Structures are given as C-alpha cells and as structure tokens.
Amino acid sequence: MMVVNIEQIGKNIYRIPVPIPFPMKYIYCYMVRDADGWSLVDAGFHNTEAIEAWEQVLKQMNVRYEQIHSIYFTHFHPDHFGLAGWMQERTGAKAYISKEDFAMAQRVWGKNSSQAEQIGEMCRKNGTPEDLADEIEESMRSLAKHVTFPELTILEDGEVILGERKWEVIPTPGHSDGHICFYQREERLLLAADHILDKITPNISIWPGSSKNPLGNYISSLEKIQQLQVDLALPAHGAMIERVDDRISEIIQHHQKRLDQIFRLAKDGRTAYDIAQDLFQHKSLNSHQWRFAIAETLSHLEYLVFTGQIKKENRNDIVFYKQNK
C-alpha cells in the first residue's frame, strides 16, 4: 500500500506531496485545519497518480472530501490548478484565485482556447524551426487534458483565514501575472508557492496574453518579500526554506548573471531561439522544456529592451535582438 509522507508544520498546517510528471517530481500542496474543517492551498496536476495520492492522503488523515470547504490557488499553472475542478466536484468547496490568473486560467484552459496556437506562433516569430514549433504547440495542447476547470471566485480580499489565523494575501507577479503568496505575520510563515524555490530558480517566462516584462515584475516581487520578516518559507517544490533573504539574493544574482550573458550573446543581432540554443546547449531538451527555454530567454531579452540595453528589429517577420549601442 502506498504511504504518503505528510509533514506537519506547526499546529494546523500539513505539507502534502502530490506527484507530477515533471522533473520536480512533486508539488507540495498544503492542508490547513480549522474549527469548520479544512482549507487547501493548490490541488495538483490532473492524472491518475495525483488522484491516488489524494485518496491516500485523506485516508491517512481521516478526512472526508466534504470536510474541505475552501481551495486557494496560488496561480493557474497546471501542476497547481489541474485538479481544481475534480477537487471541487468532490468537496463542494469554493475555489479562489487572483483576478489576473482568473483571466489567464480562462484564456489558457477555457473552452475554445487558442493559447497553444499562439505559443506556437510566438516561437516561430522568434526563430524557432517549424518542426520544433509544431511540437511545442502540440505539447501545450496536450497539457489541457490534465486540467479540470472549476467554478472560480476571484480572491479580492487582502487577507484570508487559514487555520483560524489571519494570513495576508501578497501579490507576487512574475512566475505568473497573478501569482500570490500567503503571509502569517505573527509566526513569520510564508506560503511561497513557486515564488521562491530552494534548489532551482522559478521559471519566469513571456506568454501570449501575459505581462510584457515578467522578469521586472518578478524582481520587484522578490524585493517586496525581502521587506517582510520571514522565518520559514513553504514552497510548492523542493525543501522548505529558512534563510529566505539569502535565497532571494541568490535568485536575483542568478538573473543578473543571466541578463549579462544574454546581453553579450545579442551583440550582433540574434533571435531568442538562437540565444536559447547557446544558453541550454549542455542539455537535451524535449518540446515541453524547449517551450520554457524560449519563453524564459524572451523574458530576459524583453527586460533588456525595457531597460534600453537592447533593441529589437523585424527581419522578414522574424524578431532579432541586438545590443543598443
């Protein structure tokens, strides 16, 4: 019988590893107990392995689905949001998400979405070979099969009650436009989702319909968290983080090094795909990974456009980036 390794944090918070078919292996969702039942923070990816994990979790914790009254989504990405409709159907819980990611969830996972085609076109416009762009488009389209759409409520309040304590809702755009964290000021706890991760840096990418400068947003969001007093960050992937300020500084430094590298690579004018090939030449990427590699390269290039260090020009409907001398 499968046993899920559930960690208890403090009095009422439980850290739940839910398997995902990506290199991180798990998303950590959080169950928080109160007098009326339970709240969830994120739900996981919609596949058989995740459903079996949740069935086992509730069995181990002696919790019934109908005891879960609220689900808070930190953002709309499928490893967090995919089980949204499935979980709501079984629990009857209200499902909350930020205004910005409510819109992106509708755009990306809603009926008649053209996001996959638009991502394919974005890749072609930025120099990606046609066959790879087609594969990226199909990979994105297949992801939609792993998202069950719930009835969503836009989270407009500046604070929520989790475990009978007030948690501040902290907008942290970057990883997604509507990404949110939850901060418990007295205990100095941060439910960090994908904003701060321990071993890897969160993916910061440009997508159709989203911010034109997500990296600028992300750095500002990191600096916002540095203004808080956080003793422990509870992320959605990897280990819990105690040295939060140090980790934020490391992530900002990583992006500055990547910006410097991309600035040098764009010296004489190159496409985002060409630059991504140089950046990731040491890795063998599948189409899913290429999508992120190109989109993250674009976010850095567009940051450099915003700061005036790089300019872009169209050549036969292909975008080239070049140092602004």
- 60 token code pair: 């181990």
Write out the DSSP string of 52-83: HHHHHHHHHHT--GGGEEEEE-S---HHHHTT
Euclidean distance between CA atoms 290 and 273, whole angstroms: 9
| C-alpha distance from residue 126 to each of 83, 146, 272, 285, 313 (Å) | 33, 28, 6, 18, 11
- Second-level CATH architecture of 7-323: 4-Layer Sandwich (3.60)
DSSP letter, residue 145: G
Q: What is the pLDDT along the chain (325 residues), one digit of tens a residue?
A: 578 999 999 889 999 999 999 988 999 999 999 999 999 999 999 999 999 999 999 999 999 999 999 999 999 999 999 999 999 999 999 999 999 999 999 999 999 999 999 999 999 999 999 999 999 999 999 999 999 999 999 999 899 999 999 999 999 999 999 999 999 999 999 999 999 999 899 999 999 999 999 999 999 999 999 999 999 999 999 999 999 999 999 999 999 999 999 999 999 899 999 999 999 987 789 999 999 999 999 999 999 999 999 999 999 999 999 999 7
Burial of 256 (0-12, 13-18, 19+ CB in 10 A): exposed
Strand partners, 235: 193
Structural contact between residues 297 and 261, judged by C-beta atoms closer than 8 angstroms:
no
Please state the domain extents for the chain.
7-323
Q: What is the dihedral of CA 120, 199, 82, 74, to 10 degrees?
A: -100
Helices (H) and strands (E) in the chain, counts: 10, 14
- The model carries a pTM of 0.96
Tokens of 118: 């638009």
